[in-house]
Chain A
Amino acid sequence: MIITVLRLLLQFIVLMGIQVVILNNVRLGAFINPFLYVLFLLSLPVNTPKLLLLPLAFFTGLIADMFQNTPGMHASACLLLVYCRPSWLSILAPREGYEPDMTPGLRSMGLGWYIAYAGGLIFMHHFLLFFLEIFRLSEIGSTLARIGLSSCVTLSLVTIAQFLSFNPKNN
């Protein structure tokens, strides 16, 4: 339990660090803003209490907001992500169900499942985020382009990060 909490804390600091120090400063064109930090919310254990998910997401979002000067925007998008997460997990559940303390990841569930899981939630997060940023429908074409392209880049980064990440169970 303690180890899990410490591991999650370390993961949070590393991901938020990469987000703030590197990704917020890299220019990939006008339509691409990847948000790797959502990997933290995606890889919380399956049996995390539902009522704990929400404050975790709220504060993760607020910290991301502090660095981008957009109070509430990331918080709102992160809340939507974790609100959809339990239902999305049960929709995608394999026939034998999940192990209770399992972390939804590439290694444990395979590539196809992971892309469906992460892709869906990342899309929802980015959809709300970019619409809150623009706050109107008049530039819908470019907003949808932002959402689509950024979601794809975030999904790729999240998947690649899984290959690179340290996994204590394999040692």
Chain B
Amino acid sequence: MRLLFLLLWRNNFTIFFLLLQVISIIMLVRSNRYQQATAFNATNRFVTQTTGAVNNAREFISLRDENARLAEENAKLRARLNESAYLRDTLTIRINDTIRHQQYEYMPARVVNNSVNRRNNYLTLNRGSIDGIRPEMGVISTNGVVGIVHRVSDNYCTVISLLNEKTSVSAMISRNRFFGSVRWDGKSPGRVTLYEIDKTVPVRKGDSVVTTAYSALFPSGIFMGKVDHIAIEPGSPFYKLGIRLATDFSNLSRVYIVKNLYKDEQRILEEKNEMKEDQP
């Protein structure tokens, strides 16, 4: 027994090292598996204040670009106002109010922290549970999909960026509505890959890729980017389509969090489906 203690004491450096290493790895694995907030993550108050200050400075520098983008969006939205449309059939307008219930709500948010050059990128936004944000809400920018809400604190939330290996977004080719899933291969922040589109489907370079509503995260038809590379892998029944993203992740500053008001209803119904299938 004394020999054991002596042995332990002689190697105290290694043992202490292994102990702390195990703690680190546990923290890392837990942070991947659970969405609960711990003190050591980016929703911590001190961290958000610091990164927020840095981002304020960056945002000030990019005000000109941001103004241009907002003006462009204003113009697009103005074009969709009722006043700017020629009313061919007044009946449709009247029916709209009674048969169309609002399914998606959009909450504007500011990016207070962002990265694009790591393999797994995250963003931090200045909206939290006080504003009704919950994990697994979609996040979009004026140009397309940004990511999915991950952790939420009172005033902030972190978002798993589209540029992250954990993200897989259901998307379709807008021309013929064949769908697959979009993932990022970790190379360039401007390009993602659309998988699981059958080789028999006609695809052309320049086809628009938009979201589907299957995951209940995003409304259908949010623009993501255009096909700019078509690869056929030998032995696979699917294409590997390179997509050039419309969103420039390296200067995001204003985004919208998408609240799907019917999400729970869809999810509960779908879960019932799976339970039935599991029974023998």
Contacts and interface: CB of A to CB of B under 8 A. Distances in A.
A13 interface: no
B13 interface: yes
A66 B41 CA distance: 5
Nearest to A26: B117
A28 interface: yes
A66 B40 contact: yes
A8 interface: no
A70 B166 CA distance: 14
A66 B113 CA distance: 12
Contacts of B28: 70-73, 76, 132
A94 interface: no
Contacts of A132: 28
B12 interface: yes
B119 A51 contact: no
B103 to A, nearest CB: 31
Interface residues of A, number: 41
Given A86-B13, A146-B119, 19 more contacts: A20-B51, A21-B54, A33-B117, A54-B17, A58-B20, A68-B118, A69-B41, A69-B42, A71-B30, A72-B31, A75-B23, A75-B24, A76-B21, A133-B118, A134-B165, A134-B186, A139-B119, A139-B186, A142-B187
Nearest to A78: B24
Given A54-B20, A83-B17, A65 B120 contact: no
Contacts of A83: 13-14, 17
Given A66-B40, A79-B17, A72 B27 contact: yes
Contact of B21 (A33, A66, A79): A79
Interface in B175-197: 185-189
Interface in A104-128: none
Contacts of B31: 70-72
Interface string A17-31: 000110011011111
Given A27-B117, A62-B40, A67 B24 contact: no
Contacts, number: 107
B211 to A, nearest CB: 25
A76 B25 contact: yes
A152 interface: no
Interface in B11-55: 12-14, 16-17, 20-21, 23-31, 38, 40-42, 44, 47, 50-51, 54
Contact of A69 (B12, B50, B158): B158
Contact of A50 (B13, B26, B41): B13
Nearest to B116: A27
A40 B27 CA distance: 23
29 contacts: A20-B50, A24-B115, A27-B116, A30-B116, A30-B186, A33-B118, A51-B13, A62-B40, A67-B47, A67-B51, A68-B118, A69-B124, A69-B158, A71-B28, A71-B30, A72-B25, A73-B28, A75-B20, A75-B27, A76-B24, A79-B17, A80-B21, A83-B14, A130-B119, A133-B119, A134-B119, A134-B165, A139-B186, A142-B187
Contacts of B113: 69
Interface string A124-166: 0000001011100001001100100000000000000000000
A1 B115 CA distance: 39
Nearest to B150: A69
B250 interface: yes
